[in-house]
Structure 1
């Protein structure tokens, strides 16, 4: 095959590729450059267009150029079944990667969309002899994801410069020879297959012989004249059927369009139009082609901005070609969003698909996200979905997942069918190499015969091409290759589950052994997300309470609009901090705007509930009693606790409040932390609250990764420029100023009256590059495991590194709190905006164990945002000794702003009470259907079975257990008095109750 390969490469490069176009002809081009942000078609075509020539430079970074292209098909062109006329375009493409450079969308003069132009899909059909086409060219910079170490200024309009990025290389008519094009596809498949088979395989020799016969027969100077003969000679090799034992790949078209990444959100809207227009055009040519689309947000954008295209999509959905999957608003991160946000992704996404298309999606489709929370299986089931697909887990650095199809079991015991496509890409081209990889890597040949392959250009969009469909057709039943069937994800899931219902089980979180830095990068985006989630919880709770108690109109439309934006900002390249500067600047602005809107809703509701008066009130939106006020209630502020005190000692200060005794050294660090029992939580000779600065140069993905070698070096920030200790308003505080590198930090330790925890505040002016700042707590606890809050519960993770799986989990997620303990004693650390955590342990010389808890505070990557996290930040933490998991949850709720104070006339009793504090109310709201029904979502938080009574302080006629979309689970309402419902919940079970109001 080696000799044939060289001969074939020369033939393809010098003769075959050039013969696809039988003839070409020029077109007339005029242009108008948009001076600012993109404008709609109707506005663009009214502007003054000027002559524009092929060869002209164009495209300031992020700019838009409109072209008006006119001409006529030459009269002497004979268009037959063999020949078709096309407009061919080269915008100045850099290489062949679609989605990461210039793109265009083509319109007819009436504003309807034809299709898009991008590398590998750079043609337009000619619909009439008279040509009149508008092209919207997007000068998106070529910020390639492979540029892992590049510091690029192109990620923001302010720094991208004015020089043009592209030169229009080609825009002309072409007469395409279909037979020559088909010969191209035949050769690509057979040559690719021969390259994948072993050199001594009989099929390899047969393929080489067939290709040699073709090369002998074809005339390189007249490929068109000998193309039919060439194809006949290759036909027997293409007709040889696959082996009976061949693996089957169900190939579904796909275009994983990142809702923002190396481009801003506004560009994603246009990418969706380009990709989806390509898809529906391809469907017209190939009725057997199916395309899976997962994000409701992206279709909502198309509906708003491209209504004609949206109607074409509706038609293709109805025909079964455009297949809606996933059911989420976007493809989100699953580690950092709250439980309610995780649920709302499916609530809003599935509602959109149902309302706009009449389709209920049955799977959760997350090909590219950075780890998978152990709560997700139950949320999937409660949404009315029943299986899960992802691809990213194949990127694990250390350990390969043991199966490709299996049951995934969540923390509550719920199981969902799960599949990792063994083709190990969501951007497949369906090449012989990719199909061979899928068959070779599939780990379940003993029990299964089928896998899924999402194919099409993704990340930056583009979608499937006609070449990919041609490859699928040629490999449908081909000797030496897996079989391919063009189908839907549902086709695959049905086949895979039917052939083996007794699948293996994976229990707990699916930890991605990569991209651990996404738990820390772009702190402001993460803080905005945490604040938005909390404000949404408060806004829904108090607005629902005010609607029921005093008749205040419930702001359903405003809340839905805010939820849609918050869920978009949880997309898996926005919340993780792995996008360009433009994206994160807009995310910060959005979160600030949403906070103002939500604050107004909260204040309106609370004012209506409490009235005007002089009482000092506290509104507690937490599901636990805080500040002396019941859960989900408004009460009078308590001021009974005695003030904290500070005593100066020879070695620093001693802070006391009657509950805790805290020793602080002259560096402002905690050296002892004792509760009433006298036990010290801090390991002997160590200091808690210590900031440690590490070199942070990941091997590959800058904003994405924290690699284990960061631990090889670390600078302890002990030196203090100044330190003050004082008591004000009963709070004892030690405040320390430090300087390191080009940065400064103020660390404050505060002990409040009667508090069972010490508060720590870090105010940092961060000016570092490629550094990681960790906040450390060396605890005198023999902890076999750590416990971290996740959505609707918690997970345990071992502190040892017995296995490679344990060792690889050196940085992991916790939400508002983490707890480490031994029998009878534990320590909790809570945070207001930190997600990245680490826990290790060591045995001391005295035989005791020091458990090291680390929180990743800040990073400083330079790609894709060279200014990532530069500037001022404030973070809050607390450490609580002698704590339970409930204590840890209290600290998490307190730090995250669930308690607010103001003055009013009356207290407000909670609208919902639960008899067991381990059963926590996650959400109180009114129903999505605007019926006015009350909806309460709660969950068992301890990990054990609970019998609980739920009381409603409102006139309700009926209580029904419903799914996340607020549809009855089963047929009957909960028996008995609706105002007092008794339930038995299993460990971590989520229950949603819908109350019909009297």
Structure 2
């Protein structure tokens, strides 16, 4: 038979580009847009909606670097829309996104007119179901919502190491950097969307298979038949025929020996990096609102997020979202992981500070949600101290998760699932995913990579894949969940099950009762320059650790003598500030100038407040007369008293 494979593949690609993608939305109508640009730093919803909004049209530039523009969106449902049960009404928003990467650029947060937030607008998640903003699908029904749009610049561009004026508001300029492209009401064809997901899954799978395998050609010919049976002039009316043409190859089950993947929704959000902490607080709200909205839409969706600090920001700034998160956490679908205050660096903080990361994190999760975290979750920190297994076990953790070791420049880690042994002999069950990313979209390429690279073949056959766009990309999407469903039991692909980190670790332990052992530090052969960068940030951390220790000793001494009430809350707040600044892109010095300027101001505040606390404790102790005070500040008992002048 004549081999026309290349021609057929080109035809399929053209079919998707010309016929499927343009017909996912049957029709669209522009909504009315008004705008108000915030003069400086972001403001709350209640303040924004009191401002004077002016008419604003798509095609108009908006907001300077690091600025915020609020869009008020209104309209009515057109006659005849929403009547077909195979359609769904959505607002579609394009703030001027780049397709270069899903995060690191403009983002938006959608609010109802009553001041409750809905979900985010991101480059790969630019829709808002009409029902979520309180709108009726009935013809003539009014539509109204607000979009809080952040014009965060793409600081890194294609190269993260070049000098840029965008890392500091003082040098970033004032010219608008985004142009609003689209803000429409659209009618999504759910059957065409499902067909698009079928094709995306199969086309991706086909291209991972060896050209000589029968399975590859079965998929190719099924896709070719779909191109033939779908009427190019009536895609909506014939999309079901395309799905029928693909049903057989989608139903073919995976091999018994196929790799098994536990897919866990995730969105790695750096607590600061190419944006300041104040923007991280909004990024977290955007992503977590997306997560909750997707959970309401999809009962199979499970999501894991670390960093108690990020939950605390939501509790303080977005209490209605926090309440919705607590409901999902109680259901076991929104899963706090890690048990640390932030995903900290592990090489520069002192041992006491690393312990406090767990003390503060566990206390928050226990107090707010009544849960204990069994795993340490550090996908992105720049190497891991050999003391970590001991600290993790002392904190009650039995599992450790990272991804960063796959970035090693020279020496590849020999295992993906193993026991990590610390310097004192403590061991923690450890996994880093062979998919080699913590921002997967569950594509066939990534799943095949996980299966191919997994080191423990023949002993174990399960790995975890964290999926979702991070750092402002908005987290997992409905498209990713569609991919997970199609790959649940699909010939040529690993088997995918959506589940929690705990379910993965339970399976992995069952399969590996006697894992290999890695002893000592897990050194990262990458990012090594971070340990000589931003000296003032590093000095501030070390000085703060010492001042905290000193203040606690003096205050505890005065408190046990009944001379003052121990300033627990104030010391907790200061510890939390220092713990935040130990985040793995702040303390190592890899963030923009704005982040390190904020860090230096915070360290100065910490030093001032701790100095006052220590002075107060010393003052009340001195008031007792000629009394000597001796401290054993070491970690082990000590005999005798050392005199000092």
- Asked if Structure 1 and Structure 2 have the same fold, meaning a TM-score greater than 0.5 normalized by the shorter chain, the answer is yes
From 482, 499, 505, give the equivalent of 1:493. 505
What stretches of structure 1 of length at least 5 have no aligned partner? 614-904, 913-920, 923-937, 940-947, 953-998
Kindly name which structure, 1 or 2, has the bigger radius of gyration based on alpha carbons: 1
Asked if 2 retains the 8 angstrom alpha-carbon contact of 1:196 and 1:436, the reply is yes
Q: CA–CA distance in 2 between the matches of 1:188 and 1:318?
A: 34
Give runs of ≥4 in structure 1 deviating > 4 Å: 948-952
Q: CA RMSD of the aligned region, Å?
A: 1.4
TM-score using structure 1 length: 0.62
- Does 2:523 align with 1:514? no
Per the alignment, residue 86 of structure 2 pairs with 82
Per the alignment, residue 477 of structure 1 pairs with 489
From 296, 311, 318, give the equivalent of 2:308. 296
- Does 2:261 align with 1:249? yes
- Does 2:76 align with 1:72? yes
Per the alignment, residue 440 of structure 1 pairs with 452
Q: Secondary structure at the match of 1:462?
A: coil
Per the alignment, residue 582 of structure 1 pairs with 594
Asked if 1 retains the 8 angstrom alpha-carbon contact of 2:263 and 2:498, the reply is yes
Q: CA–CA distance in 2 between the matches of 1:461 and 1:224?
A: 30
Alignment of 1:216-365 (within 5 A): 216-365=228-377
Asked if 1 retains the 8 angstrom alpha-carbon contact of 2:345 and 2:583, the reply is yes
Asked if 2 retains the 8 angstrom alpha-carbon contact of 1:389 and 1:418, the reply is yes
Per the alignment, residue 206 of structure 1 pairs with 218
- Does 2:129 align with 1:117? no
From 904, 907, 911, give the equivalent of 2:628. 907
Instruction: Pick which of 593-602 and 90-99 moved more.
Output: 90-99
Q: Kindly state the Cα deviation for residue 144 of structure 1 after the two structures are TM-superposed.
A: 3.0
Q: Kindly state the Cα deviation for residue 4 of structure 1 after the two structures are TM-superposed.
A: 2.2
Q: Which protein has the bigger strand share?
A: 1
- Does 2:17 align with 1:33? no
Q: CA–CA distance in 2 between the matches of 1:460 and 1:138?
A: 11
Per the alignment, residue 139 of structure 2 pairs with none
Q: Kindly state the Cα deviation for residue 97 of structure 1 after the two structures are TM-superposed.
A: 2.0
Asked if 2 retains the 8 angstrom alpha-carbon contact of 1:391 and 1:420, the reply is yes
Q: Kindly state the Cα deviation for residue 452 of structure 1 after the two structures are TM-superposed.
A: 0.4
Asked if 2 retains the 8 angstrom alpha-carbon contact of 1:105 and 1:113, the reply is yes
Q: CA–CA distance in 1 between the matches of 2:638 and 2:616?
A: 31
Distance 1:489 1:96, change over 3 A: same
Per the alignment, residue 442 of structure 2 pairs with 430
Q: Secondary structure at the match of 1:237?
A: helix
Q: C-alpha offsets along residues 885-909 of structure 1, whole Å, 9 cap, x if unaligned?
A: xxxxxxxxxxxxxxxxxxxx54213
- Does 2:112 align with 1:391? no
- Does 2:515 align with 1:503? yes
Per the alignment, residue 48 of structure 1 pairs with 52
Q: Kindly state the Cα deviation for residue 610 of structure 1 after the two structures are TM-superposed.
A: 3.2
Distance 1:229 1:539, change over 3 A: same
Q: Kindly state the Cα deviation for residue 220 of structure 1 after the two structures are TM-superposed.
A: 2.1
Distance 1:149 1:564, change over 3 A: closer
Per the alignment, residue 105 of structure 2 pairs with 101
Q: CA–CA distance in 1 between the matches of 2:111 and 2:471?
A: 24
From 4, 7, 12, give the equivalent of 1:8. 12
Q: CA–CA distance in 2 between the matches of 1:524 and 1:509?
A: 26
Q: Which protein has the bigger helix share?
A: 2
Q: Secondary structure at the match of 1:368?
A: coil
Higher relative contact order, chain-length normalized (CA < 8 Å, sep 6+): 2
Q: Secondary structure at the match of 1:411?
A: coil
Q: Kindly state the Cα deviation for residue 513 of structure 1 after the two structures are TM-superposed.
A: 0.7
Alignment of 1:367-382 (within 5 A): 367-382=379-394
Distance 1:496 1:950, change over 3 A: farther
Q: Kindly state the Cα deviation for residue 338 of structure 1 after the two structures are TM-superposed.
A: 0.6
Q: CA–CA distance in 1 between the matches of 2:119 and 2:109?
A: 6
Q: CA–CA distance in 2 between the matches of 1:144 and 1:475?
A: 34
Asked if 1 retains the 8 angstrom alpha-carbon contact of 2:267 and 2:476, the reply is yes
Asked if 2 retains the 8 angstrom alpha-carbon contact of 1:250 and 1:486, the reply is yes
Distance 1:290 1:5, change over 3 A: same
Per the alignment, residue 181 of structure 1 pairs with 193
Q: CA–CA distance in 1 between the matches of 2:270 and 2:409?
A: 23
Q: Secondary structure at the match of 1:430?
A: coil
Q: CA–CA distance in 2 between the matches of 1:120 and 1:148?
A: 22
From 165, 170, 179, give the equivalent of 2:182. 170
Asked if 2 retains the 8 angstrom alpha-carbon contact of 1:610 and 1:908, the reply is no
Q: Kindly state the Cα deviation for residue 5 of structure 1 after the two structures are TM-superposed.
A: 1.8
Asked if 1 retains the 8 angstrom alpha-carbon contact of 2:554 and 2:618, the reply is yes
Q: What is the number of residues matched between the two proteins? A: 629
Asked if 2 retains the 8 angstrom alpha-carbon contact of 1:141 and 1:165, the reply is yes
Distance 1:122 1:611, change over 3 A: same
Asked if 2 retains the 8 angstrom alpha-carbon contact of 1:550 and 1:609, the reply is no
